[in-house]
C-alpha cells in the first residue's frame, strides 16, 4: 500500500502489462473476438482484460535517482540550465538583481544644469552649529593655555637667581612689578598697561645745558631706570624733573650711573606710578613684535611698534673716551627718535626686554638725525644687573681682560697694551697678538671684542683664541672688574 507522497515509479516495459488508453470521453472501447491473438499496442483489450489483479511492482532500484538530477531530467534527456545557487553572506541579504538580456545602447544626454548639480553634489555641508561652537571654544582654550604657560614660565625665570655672577653682586629686587597679564597681544593693550609706568625726564645742567629723555619705574620705592647720557648733564650739579603720565611733576635725585653700559638710576620718593615687569632679552627672537614707549622730541607718552630686526648688534655710543658705551644691542625698526632714550622696549606681554638707547644715522647727516628704521636697545638682562648695583652702591662694575686694543685695526682685535698683573698678562698675551675669537664667537674688530667681553660678568672664565706670528693659540682667562 502506497501513500500519496510516495515517489512515482516507471513500469519496466519488458515485464509490465500494457495499459489501455481511454478516449477523451471516458467510454471503454469494444474488445476483440474470443480466440484472437494477444493484444498489441494497436489492438484494444478484451472486456475482461481489466479484471485481472495488478501484480506487485518489481525492484525499482535501476530507476532511482543517483546523480542528483530529477526523474524528469533522467527520463527526458539533457537537463535544463540551472541558475547558480545564491548563498546569502548575512541573514536577510537580498537576492541579486537579475540583469535584463537586452540593454539599450542609447544614453540620454545630461540635463542642462548638470554642472550645477555636480557642484552641489561636491559642496560639503556646513558643520552643525553646535560643533562649530565646541571647536571655537577648544581653540580659544588652547591658545589661552599656551600663552598663560609661557607667561608663567617667564615670570618664574625673572625671579630666579641663575644669572648670579661669580663675583658677589647685590640682589636688589627690581623689575618685579605686578604681572601685567596681557593676553590679547595688541599694541593698544600693551600701551594701556605700560604708559602709567613710563615717565618723561627733563634735565638741567649746572653749565646751562639741558636734555630731555625717558625712563620707567622699576620698583615700588620710586626708582627709575634711564640712560646715562640723559642725566649726565646733572651729574655735577643741576636738576632732574620727572613728569608722570598723569602730568604730575616731581624732582628726582641721581642714585647712580654707569657710562660703560649707558645706564643710570634716579629716584622720586613717593612716586605715584606702578612698576614694570621685566622679561628676558635672551629669549627674544628676530621677527617678534615689540613696542617702544617714550617722549621723542619732547612728545610725552608716544607709542610706536615694530619688530626685533637683529640681535647681538655691537653698538658704540658716547662723545668721549670716558663716556663711550659698548652695547650688545637689540636692533628694532620700531620708530625711535631723540627723546626716546631711556624708555622701555617691551614685548607683546607688556614685559620690558630692553632700554632704548641709540639710533643709527646716515653718515654726514648727524645734525638732522631721526628715525630711519634702525634703533638699538640695551638688553634688559644686562640692564637689570647694572640697575641692582647702582641702587645698592651707587656704582656699577664691568668685566675687563686688562689689555688695550687698536680701535683702527680690522680683521680681529690687535693688542696694543697689556696691564701688569692683569688677566691678559697672566694668560701670556703680548702686544701685537690678534684676538680672533672669544667663547667661539668670531671677533673681527676691537668693538666686537669689547662688547663680547661686557656681556659677561667679573669673575667668569672665557676662552680666547689669538694669532701670534701667523700661528693660532688658545688660552683661558678669568675676567677682572672695573668700576664705571
Could you list the active site residues? 229, 262, 341
Instruction: Specify the DSSP class assigned to residue 177.
Output: -
How far apart are the C-alpha atoms of 60 and 280, rounded to whole Å? 109
How far apart are the C-alpha atoms of 349 and 147, rounded to whole Å? 9
What cell was used for 60? 525499482
Biggest CA pair distance of the chain = 177
How far apart are the C-alpha atoms of 22 and 27, rounded to whole Å? 7
What cell was used for 438? 672669544
- DSSP secondary structure letters along 205-272: ETTS-EEEEEEEE-STT-EEEE-HHHHGGGTTSEEEEEE-TT--EEEEEEEEEETTTTEEEEE-TT--
What cell was used for 182? 596681557
What cell was used for 183? 593676553
How far apart are the C-alpha atoms of 42 and 32, rounded to whole Å? 12
**Strands (DSSP E) found in 297-433:** 302-317, 325-332, 344-346, 352-359, 375-379, 397-400, 403-405, 413-418
Which helix (H) or strand (E) is 118 found in, with range? Answer: helix 114-122
Q: How many residues does the chain have?
A: 484
Amino acid at each position: 500500500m502506497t501513500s500519496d507522497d510516495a515517489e512515482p515509479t516507471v513500469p519496466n516495459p519488458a515485464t509490465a502489462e500494457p495499459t489501455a488508453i481511454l478516449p477523451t470521453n471516458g467510454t471503454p472501447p469494444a474488445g476483440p473476438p474470443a480466440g484472437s491473438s494477444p493484444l498489441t499496442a494497436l489492438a484494444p483489450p478484451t472486456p475482461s482484460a481489466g479484471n485481472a489483479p495488478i501484480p506487485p511492482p518489481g525492484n525499482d532500484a535501476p530507476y532511482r535517482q543517483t546523480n542528483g538530477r530529477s526523474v524528469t531530467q533522467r527520463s527526458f534527456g539533457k537537463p535544463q540550465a540551472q541558475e547558480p545557487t545564491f548563498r546569502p553572506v548575512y541573514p536577510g541579504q537580498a537576492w541579486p538583481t537579475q540583469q535584463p538580456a537586452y540593454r539599450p545602447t542609447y544614453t540620454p544626454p545630461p540635463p542642462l544644469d548638470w554642472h550645477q548639480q555636480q557642484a552641489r553634489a561636491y559642496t560639503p555641508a556646513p558643520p552643525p552649529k553646535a560643533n562649530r561652537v565646541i571647536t571655537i571654544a577648544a581653540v580659544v582654550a588652547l591658545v589661552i593655555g599656551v600663552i598663560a604657560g609661557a607667561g608663567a614660565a617667564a615670570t618664574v625665570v625673572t625671579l630666579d637667581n641663575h644669572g648670579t655672577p661669580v663675583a658677589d653682586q647685590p640682589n636688589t629686587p627690581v623689575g618685579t612689578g605686578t604681572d601685567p597679564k596681557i593676553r590679547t597681544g595688541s599694541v593698544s593693550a600693551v600701551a594701556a598697561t605700560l604708559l602709567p609706568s613710563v615717565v618723561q625726564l627733563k634735565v638741567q645742567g649746572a653749565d646751562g645745558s639741558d636734555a630731555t629723555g625717558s625712563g620707567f619705574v622699576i620698583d615700588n620705592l620710586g626708582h627709575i631706570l634711564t640712560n646715562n647720557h640723559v642725566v649726565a648733564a646733572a651729574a655735577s650739579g643741576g636738576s632732574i624733573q620727572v613728569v608722570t603720565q598723569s602730568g604730575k611733576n616731581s624732582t628726582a635725585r641721581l642714585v647712580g650711573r654707569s657710562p660703560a653700559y649707558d645706564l643710570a638710576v634716579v629716584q622720586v620718593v613717593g612716586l605715584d606710578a606702578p612698576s614694570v615687569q621685566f622679561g628676558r632679552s635672551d629669549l627674544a627672537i628676530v621677527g617678534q613684535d615689540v613696542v617702544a614707549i617714550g617722549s621723542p622730541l619732547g612728545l610725552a607718552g608716544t607709542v610706536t611698534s615694530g619688530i626685533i630686526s637683529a640681535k647681538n648688534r655691537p653698538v658704540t655710543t658716547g662723545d668721549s673716551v670716558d663716556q663711550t658705551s659698548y652695547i650688545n644691542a637689540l636692533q628694532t625698526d620700531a620708530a625711535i627718535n631723540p627723546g626716546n632714550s631711556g624708555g622701555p622696549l617691551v614685548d607683546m606681554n607688556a614685559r620690558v626686554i630692553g632700554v632704548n638707547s641709540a639710533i643709527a644715522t646716515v653718515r654726514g647727516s648727524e645734525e638732522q638725525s631721526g628715525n630711519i628704521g634702525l634703533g638699538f636697545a640695551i638688553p634688559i638682562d644686562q640692564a637689570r644687573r647694572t640697575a641692582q648695583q647702582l641702587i645698592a652702591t651707587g656704582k656699577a662694575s664691568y668685566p675687563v681682560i686688562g689689555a688695550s686694543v687698536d680701535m683702527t685695526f680690522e680683521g680681529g682685535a690687535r693688542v696694543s697694551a697689556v696691564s701688569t698683573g692683569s688677566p691678559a698678562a697672566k694668560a701670556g698675551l703680548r702686544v701685537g697678538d690678534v684676538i680672533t675669537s672669544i667663547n667661539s664667537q668670531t671677533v673681527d674688530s676691537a668693538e666686537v671684542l669689547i662688547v663680547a667681553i661686557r656681556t659677561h660678568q667679573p669673575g667668569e672664565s672665557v676662552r680666547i683664541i689669538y694669532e701670534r706670528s701667523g700661528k693660532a693659540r688658545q688660552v683661558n682667562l678669568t675676567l677682572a672688574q672695573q668700576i664705571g
